[in-house]
């Protein structure tokens, strides 16, 4: 079983020759120890390929206002939203409710976007 005892970033002591060899591709250097073979192994992690990537947006902050659609006639749900602090936006015909309340009421599927 190999145990990692030390992980170094490029430029730290013990990585200078590897930085010269691999340049910008060097991510880190690890010193690993194999107890069975009684060996210390120096390993390198390299960047093989770099491509453009846009991460998926995470959930909004808890206090962000969300627009929530509620169908005409869902009176009980509208009452719950109002009790949770929601406000009706007559022009857009949506309820405005803080994201944490949307999650608490389980209305994520009804959220249509951020409040404008």
Kindly state whether residue 37 falls inside one of the protein's structural domains: yes
Q: CA angle, corner 27, sides to 23 and 32, nearest 5?
A: 115
How many structural domains does the chain have? 2
Q: What is the DSSP string of 24-72?
A: GGEEEEEEEEETTTTEEEEEEEE--------PPP-PPPTT-EEEE---T
User: Which residue segment(s) compose the domain that 106 sits in?
Assistant: 65-114
Residue 76's pLDDT is what? 94
Kindly state whether residue 58 falls inside one of the protein's structural domains: no
CA distances from 80 to 70, 77, 90, 97, 111 (A): 11, 5, 18, 11, 15
Instruction: Please list the pLDDT of the chain residue by residue as tens digits (116 residues).
Output: 889 999 999 999 989 999 999 999 999 999 999 999 999 999 999 999 999 999 888 888 888 999 999 999 999 999 999 999 999 999 999 999 999 999 999 999 999 888 87
Same domain, yes or no: 70 and 41: no
Q: What is the pTM of this model?
A: 0.53
Residue 61's pLDDT is what? 87
Kindly state whether residue 52 falls inside one of the protein's structural domains: no
Residue 113's pLDDT is what? 85
Same domain, yes or no: 72 and 102: yes
Kindly state whether residue 55 falls inside one of the protein's structural domains: no
């Amino acid at each position: 079983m190999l145990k990692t005892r030390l992980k170094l970033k490029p430029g730290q002591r013990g990585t200078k020759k590897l930085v010269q060899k691999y340049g910008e591709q060097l991510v880190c250097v690890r010193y690993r120890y194999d107890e069975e073979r009684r060996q210390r192994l120096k390993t390198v992690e390299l960047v093989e390929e770099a491509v453009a990537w846009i991460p998926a947006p995470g959930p909004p902050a808890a206090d962000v206002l969300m627009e929530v659609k509620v169908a005409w006639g869902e009176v009980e749900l509208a009452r719950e939203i109002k009790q949770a602090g929601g406000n009706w936006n007559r022009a857009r015909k949506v309820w405005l409710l803080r994201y944490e309340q949307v999650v608490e009421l389980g209305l994520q599927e009804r959220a249509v976007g951020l409040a404008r």
